[in-house]
Structure 1
Amino acid sequence: MAYHAILFDIDNTLINSANLIAETLRTAAIKVENVEAPLEKYRQLIGQPGDKILRSFGVKDPETVLRYYMKDFTSNMHKLVYFPGIESLFEKLKHVDLKIGVVTSKNRFQFDQETKYFPMIANTKIVTTSDLTAKPKPSGDPLIYTIKTNGLDPSTTLYVGDSVYDMRAANEAKIDFAAAGWGALPDEKFENAKYLLKKPEDLLKLVSL
């Protein structure tokens, strides 16, 4: 399949961040509202917007919790790193005639804060954050929005992500999905994925170099 556009999720697809997000969300929920839930439950829900995750655990004021979370998370962003092979992958994709973008569950403020440490992502020409559509992932709306506003062809657009929420969004948008196995939970089921990738460079086999 010759793809003309590749769209990426960010957390635990490009950046090894899901564990820090889960830990910080959990800590914020406990400190602000004394709402406790197992860390592994938080980790399983990473890929959805933070307010939705918090509401699922009974948080009544997710906006306040998220403000606390963002302050704590921002102070620890220096701990985040790209997954091995991601920077090399992007460098090689520069030499391929295709469009590259990111579609994330982060809102624009969160995206701008985090990508201060990751200029490769910040400088991506196509960026869709969760506040650009009424429904976030796992709805297909963010991908559909991205396709329409950037003149992409769904039949030649691939979405790469680490969670079933990313897969469901791609399926609803009727575009191919590649599971980023390097960031996915070990027991994640990707029955509707077009590709199961073990490492970032596997993606290069799907494009013409």
Structure 2
Amino acid sequence: MPFKCVAFDVDGTLLDTVKPDLMSLQKVIREETGQTPSLEELRPLLGIPGVTALEQLGLPDPQAAFDKWAAYVREYDHLITVFPGIWEVLDELRDRGVTLGLVTSRCRSELDRDVTRLGLLQYFRAVVCADDTERHKPDPDPLLKLLADTGMNPGDVLYIGDTIYDSQCARAAGVKFALALWGTMDPAIPCDYRLAHPAELLPLCRPAAEA
């Protein structure tokens, strides 16, 4: 049965933000601790709320460090791009009448900084940010809120993401998960579908005749 709703993660799925996120995080850690972990060492911290990531690093004031991180990442805004093929797929899915959603670990202000600035927000009927639920990915609450907001059943929804947290969130919510191979750092993440290009979403969604 074709999916009626497609929900996207943002970083590593819609937007290629890895390098600016990691470079700015590295800068914060260097200033706060005097240590300079490699970008590869920091990569597993992406995909969860920023303050939570900084708590895991043991920084004494994670919120203050997060505010600094959010300020520094702006220095690298010019490196943030929309992955090839995303615009065309969003246009096609919208034309088919597929409900589009965002489920992200970004807070609302972080979302506005890039997603709104780049013109992507217009496509999405339901948007769930870290501010909107008490528990975050890998817990199911963000996707459960999307289901509540759209009136969809779990079987109607396909979630697209790039991290193990996305996969675990989808599984816990009873939603099928597609791994965005164009953005993931780990192609072995458990999933229902492995997609090499955004266009591979289209056969999984209801065709235009059913829209």
TM-score between the two structures when normalised by the length of structure 1:
0.93
1:201 corresponds to which residue?
199
Count of residues paired in the alignment = 207
1:153 corresponds to which residue?
153
Matches within 5 A, 1:49-64: 49-64=49-64
Could you tell me which amino acid in structure 2 is paired with residue 32 of structure 1?
E
1:95 corresponds to which residue?
95
2:141 corresponds to which residue?
141
- Between the aligned partners of 1:208 and 1:189, the Cα distance in structure 2 is 27
- Between the aligned partners of 1:2 and 1:55, the Cα distance in structure 2 is 40
> Alpha-carbon deviation of 1:123?
5.1
User: Is the 1:6–1:159 Cα contact (8 Å) retained in structure 2?
Assistant: yes
Structure 1's 116 and 5: CA in aligned 2 closer, same or farther, altered over 3 A? closer
DSSP 3-state at the match of 2:15 = coil
Is residue 78 of structure 1 aligned with residue 78 of structure 2? yes
1:128 corresponds to which residue?
128
- Between the aligned partners of 1:57 and 1:188, the Cα distance in structure 2 is 25
Runs of at least 4 residues of structure 1 off by over 6 A?
none
Identity %: 29
Is residue 105 of structure 1 aligned with residue 105 of structure 2? yes
TM-score between the two structures when normalised by the length of structure 2:
0.92
1:189 corresponds to which residue?
188
- Between the aligned partners of 1:189 and 1:147, the Cα distance in structure 2 is 27
Structure 1's 89 and 33: CA in aligned 2 closer, same or farther, altered over 3 A? same
Structure 1's 32 and 123: CA in aligned 2 closer, same or farther, altered over 3 A? farther
Pairwise CA RMSD: 1.5
User: Is the 1:158–1:175 Cα contact (8 Å) retained in structure 2?
Assistant: yes
CA offset digits 1:139-196 (Å, max 9, x no partner): 11110011112211111111000111100000011110000000001x44223x1101
Structure 1 unaligned residues grouped into runs of 5+: none
